[in-house]
Amino acid sequence: MIFYGSLGLAVAVAIRAVGALMTFTMLVAPGASALCLTERLSRTFKIALVLGILSSLSGVMLSYQYDLPTGSTIVAILVGFFVISFGIGQLRKAA
C-alpha cells in the first residue's frame, strides 16, 4: 500500500512539474523500448535505465544547443528510440 501511495504521489507531482505528456512518456517509453530489444527480463531494466538517462541527457543538450523546448525534445528522442527499437525487434523476429 505504501508503494502505490508513493507512486501515485510521485506521478501527481511529476505531472504538475513537467506535464502529463513527458511524465507518461518517461514512464512507458524506456521500458517498451527495452522490451522490444531483449527477451530476457534481467536485461530489460538495465536497457531501460540506459535509454532513459541517455534520452534525458541528449534531450537537454539538444534543446540547449538549438533553443528548443526541453520537454518536447526529450519526448521526441524517447519516441525515436522506441521506433528504432521496435524496428530492430521486428527484424529479429523475421530473421
How much is the pTM? 0.90
What is the tens place of the pLDDT at every residue in 20-77? 999 999 999 999 999 999 988 889 999 999 999 999 999 999 999 999 999 999 999 9
The pLDDT score that the predictor gives to residue 95 is 80
Q: What is the SS3 string spanning 26-56?
A: HHHHHHHHHHHHCCCHHHHHHHHHHHHHHHH
